A and B are shown apart, each in its own frame.
Chain A
Amino acid sequence: MISTKSLSRRGFLNMGVAAGAGYLLPKTGLISPAHAATPLAPVAEEDAHIAFGHTGPTSDEGWTWAHDQGMKAVEAAFPKLRTSYVESIPYSADATRIFRQFVADDANMVFATSNYGDFLYDVANRAPDVAFYECDGRSPLENLGTFYLSHWYPSYVAGIAAGAMSPSGKLGYVASFPVPSVYSGTNAFLMGARSVNPEATLQAIVINSWFDPQAATQAGTALIDNGCDVLFGIMDEAGYLQVAEERGAKAVMWNTDLRRYGPNAYISSIIVDFKDFYVEQVRRRLAGEWTPTQDLLPFGNGVDVDAWGESVPAEVAAKADAVKASILDGSFNPFVGELKDTKGNVKVAKGATMSEQELYHWNWSIEGVSGLDS
């Protein structure tokens, strides 16, 4: 499209404008508002093909494993339909090729288990009779829905236990990338910890991967050496839990119950469960009721805190459980202003409640979190 030969200064400036416009789009949030599209035609169960495109290996005992459990639940609920899946899809044009292959293979519904963005968008755009779901997706279409977890609530509850169990008040966080999931996770965790220890702070290390046990182990060690005594993170494996166990620190995990890797260090985990959601969406697709949704799986039904670890004192567990109950019955919302960012600017006014959309798109750190906003 752009040849280097004809690249004049004007052409160069135009490229800058195009890049600038591209940068603005995602910031505006939802590109097309949710609306009632025409449902896709029903499919007989024995003719149906449901495909899953995973970011990691299903054997990771974490994120992809949880999605794989969801696929198994779909198979159990609809034994006659056909499922297929591809693991460890890279974030490259290969992803487009794989999703296109699903379509060519007569898939009626495709789940992409993490944010493939434009690599999926084009495929969905050209296959209007196939239903697509993108986890952590940000640009819905007529036939492309998005879903994610309201993981900030369990992160807040786990933060209460972490704050109570951290003598130094220094929490550590092994982050993948500075993305909204990481901002909302760190902020919610620290807010929970501050509800019991107002002096608590959180230090994050970005390792540029969702799955790199070696780097996560090194990052966990660096955090503990720097005085952190409770670690949290968003890794698909147990690397930093094993460091915490060895060094006598504590850890909160993500995705699944990982206490066998560090029974003394384990506080809890942000447990994810896509089973009910997947079964329901497949049912709607088969019945001819499917229109795209933008779902956030609620606290208690899709995302939750795990049963407390053996080293969590009973009174700490009781306190956190009480807060969990009050969030669940709607009597308490932790995400109410006044909230300041790391530079001291008031971002959420006193008394204002953050909406679920704001929490989902959270892209700044609250005061006390360091390592993400630089």
Chain B
Amino acid sequence: MDILAGLIQTAFLAGGVLALAALGEVLAERVGVVNLGVEGLIALGAMSAVVTVVSTGSPWLGLGVALLVGLLSGMVFATATVVVRANQILCGLALTYIGTGMAATIGKPFSGTPVPETFSPLHIPVLSDLPFFGRALFSHNILIYVIFLILPLALHYMMFYTRHGLNMRAVGENPAAADAAGIPVMKMRFWYTSLGAALASGAGGYLTLTFVPSWSEGVVAGRGWIAVALVIFAGFRPINAVLAGLLFGFVTGLGFVGQARNWPVAASILSMLPYLGTMALMILPVVTWQRMRRLMAAPDGITAPYFRDQR
């Protein structure tokens, strides 16, 4: 029981990076922009958060700087892809390389310094002392509750229950029609792409301020790519995206627990679990249930730059 509680606890911790980055990517892809720069944005956010906290001692300020760095990088990316209408895939890859490289270079003097102040777990009266659920669900830092509860619910409500959300989805599905209906396509794409980048960078800040409290080059270790994949897996929906992040964290942890408890399965198979699980969950529902194809489909206008005079 204790092991399961520990497993769920680390699933939240590890899944938080993926969940927040995936949320950001959902925003960008819903308005029709694929941002493959997530890996670089996480690195930038992780580095700038550490630099800020080591210099000032405030984790909140660190997170704020990470978000701001992400927003600014996102605005550069959006200028290239939305305003200039350069190829989104190439710009995204460039952002990954620039972000990873810049983070490594700027962060060099700060690598190997432990983060002095992190977001420590909150103690909630009564709830945190519950036997099983206390450790699994109610002894997390505040960011976990923001990432897994507040943000996805708020974004879900915004995207599916408000006129603004409908407009936003329309921009991603068919920018020409949205434009004809008077929705400001460029503005929507520009700001949601930038905001999505801010969240991805915030995921980096979350990583170094809670889960792995120090900066070193390579700390992201490919999680940005997994976040991009999880968005497709989650059918471009915010609640599904955080659940996918949580599931991924859980299955990764399960592999380690399996090794620790000597399950009679080869370690290499256990390490494969997260990827096998993702593939199975991607394929099975679509094969077995036709309606899922439509529900999980990508926005129609994705990756296509919008030229008003060519509609």
Contacts and interface: CB of A to CB of B under 8 A. Distances in A.
Interface of A: 56-57, 59-61, 65, 87-88, 172, 178, 203-209, 211-215, 217-219, 221-223, 225-226, 228, 237-239, 242, 260-261, 370-371, 374
Contacts of B111: 57, 59-61
Contact of B267 (A209, A214, A226, A371): A371
A291 B255 CA distance: 46
B217 A222 contact: no
Interface string B232-275: 00000000000000000000110011011110101110010000
A214 B17 contact: yes
Interface stretch (B68-76, B123-131, B160-168, B218-226): B218-226
B259 A205 contact: yes
B216 A221 contact: no
Main SS of chain B's interface residues?
Answer: helix
Nearest to B3: A225
Interface in B174-232: 207, 211-214, 216-219, 221, 223
Contacts of B259: 204-206, 219, 222, 371
B294 to A, nearest CB: 35
Contacts of A226: 3, 257, 260-261
A214 B218 CA distance: 11
Interface of B: 2-3, 6-7, 9-10, 13-14, 17, 104, 107-108, 111-112, 114, 207, 211-214, 216-219, 221, 223, 252-253, 256-257, 259-262, 264, 266-268, 271
Contact of A222 (B108, B256, B267, B271): B256
Contacts of A211: 216, 218, 221
Contact of B218 (A56, A219, A374): A56
B212 A239 contact: yes
Contacts of A239: 212
Specify which of A56, A59, A61, A237 lies most central, judged by the most chain B CB atoms within 10 Å of its CB.
A59
A208 B267 CA distance: 9
A213 B46 CA distance: 13
A206 B112 contact: no
Contact of A57 (B17, B114, B217): B217
A61 B112 contact: yes
A225 B260 contact: yes
Contact of B221 (A65, A178, A205, A212): A212
Contact of B257 (A59, A61, A222, A261): A222
Given A56-B218, A218-B252, A221-B9, 19 more contacts: A57-B104, A59-B217, A60-B112, A65-B112, A206-B259, A206-B268, A206-B271, A211-B218, A211-B221, A212-B221, A213-B214, A215-B221, A218-B256, A222-B257, A238-B214, A239-B212, A242-B213, A371-B259, A371-B262
Given A61-B112, A225-B257, A225-B260, A214 B207 contact: yes
A213 B260 contact: no
Contacts of B6: 221-222, 225
A10 to B, nearest CB: 31
A355 to B, nearest CB: 29
Contacts of A215: 221, 252, 256
Given A61-B111, A212-B221, A226-B257, A218 B10 contact: yes
A209 B264 CA distance: 22
B2 A225 contact: yes
A209 B214 CA distance: 18
A222 B253 CA distance: 7
B221 A222 contact: no
